[in-house]
Structure 1
Amino acid sequence: MSMNGAEAWQAHVNKFNRVAAKAKESFSVLTSSTIKLLNYSENATYLATNEEKQEKYILRVCRPNYHTKSEIESEMAWIKSIHESSPIEVSLPIVGDNGEYIQKVKLEDGPQEYCCSLFTFLKGEAPDENKESELIRQFENLGEITAQLHEHSIKNHQTFSSFKRLTWDYETILGENPKWARWQDGLGMTPERKKLFQRVSETIKHRLDKFGKGPTRFGLIHGDLRLANLLVDGEHIKVIDFDDCGFGWYLFDLGTSLSFIEHKHYVPSLIDAWLKGYRKVRHLSKEEEQEIPTFIMMRRLMLISWVGSRENETTKELGSEYTIQTDPLAEKYLEDFEHSNVN
């Protein structure tokens, strides 16, 4: 008898729970700690708590075959460099008892290998998309932080270019063989909607070909600065989850910050606030600014592919409605950009 979606999801979670319990043995600091699942998405993330010592850590179990060990090592190296050379507060990796950041774990009943990592715990709460005025203020702060991240990336371009990380460009996001999945296979697709989104995809490609991948526009980025990966602590914003960091357009980081809320009425105000913060640190030309909708639409189509190809709490909540809500965004984007030229 085949499992339904909920049963299959629970079976995956149960397997990750077993891996996490085994990974715990590789870190002495986790002795006497209890672990609790925080989030299951691309990976499974756990809160490890030692009540006696009043210590907390974050344990991450990576999905098999998503990143190689060398790719995760490059992620760790970047996180450490950000901590050492920028004012951005990040969750730092912790070495295991064998001196390695990445612990490989296998279960007795399968050949799959899971890469597990431990990180410092940061205090804070994710920004609330329902608190508009707060979010606008936070986006000015986020713009400043993102510019600092990009400055760090540009200054160390030669060093980072040797890192083993994914490239997030048109081909890997919306191309024929994308890293995540095809937007064409998203939920709620109709022939009419596919035609509409295909025109959007073609327009994105045309504009990005013209925009180019110069060193001040394309480099090592976080790649997933959505609200869930930010922690607000008073006036400070901390950045977590570098799992999708890779080589991409710097402005794509803004697109990812608007993940799942691209259709909200307050998005123009968020963009204005982000630009104000960004320009405190780094110059952004008018040409770059006018291309922001392209990166927002590319991310939106990317997320449609993600929702259609993943089974977790977020994708269940979004469903086909997320695709349907994209129609007016797509039509507006084509109206503004389909037949215009990049200056």
Structure 2
Amino acid sequence: MHNIKIEQTSQPKEKPAPDQLGFGHYFSDHMFVLDYTEGIGWHDPRIIPYQPISLDPSAMIFHYGQSVFEGLKAYITVDGEALLFRPDANFKRLNRSNERLCIPAIDEQLALEALKQLVAVDREWIPTAPGTSLYIRPFIIATEENLGVHPSKKYQFIIIMSPSGSYYKEGINPVKIMVEQQFVRAVKGGTGEAKTGGNYASALKGQEIADREGYSQTLWLDGKENRYVEEVGSMNIFFKIAGTVVTPELNGSILPGITRDSMIQVLKSKGIPVEERRISIDEVVEAYHNGTLEEVFGTGTAAVISPVGELKYLDEKMSINKGEIGEVSQMLYDTLTGIQYGKIEDSFDWTIRL
């Protein structure tokens, strides 16, 4: 057991109404903090009242972008228990991101223990209305006061939590996405497979263009040939073509999504053919024209699944499954949320009950 100090807040915040939650607007009463100092390692684990961070203007995070983060959720099950979904996978991925960004590895067991204790302290912040959850954001920033270009010698690992509303208020509405032609999100050998802030900053321009044209997300192609499908702004992407579900293989520039991995395991367990391979945008367009493109959907922590009702490439707008959610998309959504809210048995051993 790790000795995590706990300082309870003396001024609990008022909790927002369930119908006002949205995403990422409100934060629970406490946060977890862990410091790193070169020569000492990670030290001083503590749960403290949620508060601003004080950093020197020369802190390296501001200048060279050494940061990584994760996103996961806690849920209240139908029988009133608090539950985490695959947190161990998130901390494993955090360490893979750390490796790419030259950030010292964290102790995954300490991180998991800290998360459990933090959720226990702020358990009342887990909303209970249908479809709601407590979003959890672990992140690491470089804090050394230095303008030299080198890996920082000091870091902070912090976990904050935010009650989140139901992603789909009136049922699952398929989204419209457009294929980005001008910009690229990542290239093989870059930081695309790490969950680092810079990837999201570089994707904002494509998102801005999509918003302007009335689309909710950008579908990124590879940065080399501008042909092969990679991922959507905040999600991995899947195509159901002639009965087989295809998703781009992990190639070094695609984020290895935990929801993506969960979906692949569910598909296999149901006997639905699934392939991880390179898929070109031309193959998708051809499947659309010959009538074999049956479903398109994105997967991620926030929405679980986002069916795609329209896909725009160049000047062509492709309507997918008459703009409605497909059978496989619905099954995947029902299965994953069923496990997350304790409605169906977790045969994959993914959940941790607190």
More strand by share: 2
TM range (shorter): 0.3 to 0.5
TM-score, normalised by the number of residues in structure 1: 0.34
TM-score, normalised by the number of residues in structure 2: 0.33
